[in-house]
Amino acid sequence: MGTTAQLASFLKLASGNRRFRQSHLSLYSAILMYHDKASRQNPFRVSRRELMKHSAIRSYATYHKCMGELIANGLIEYEPSYHPNLASRVTLLENNSEP
């Protein structure tokens, strides 16, 4: 599934779910950007700092809440790295569900 199709699928899902906010869209868009930078390979590594910067999320609590809800809705798999120099591992899942 291409980036445009994944974003369209996310927007369709988000329009039927009142829990998704602008921060979810921003974070998912940043994840898509890094997925493209990684030559669309799954899984790929990206740091929390970079995702927060590109999604304009300033609060750790908001970041973790949004990540948790993206995981709970089956959009991504996330394996945090507790090593300061090793980025976390993210797998972008295909979302074929209807809202």
Tell me the torsion sign for CA atoms 61, 22, 41, 51. Answer: negative
CATH (residue range 3-92): 1.10.10
The pTM of this model reads: 0.84
Residue with tokens 């390979």: 41
Instruction: Give the pLDDT confidence of 22-73 residue by residue, as tens digits.
Output: 899 999 999 999 999 998 888 999 999 999 999 999 999 999 999 999 999 8
98: phi then psi, degrees, rounded to nearest 5: -95, 150
What was the pLDDT predicted at 19?
79
Residue 82 has pLDDT above 50, yes or no: yes
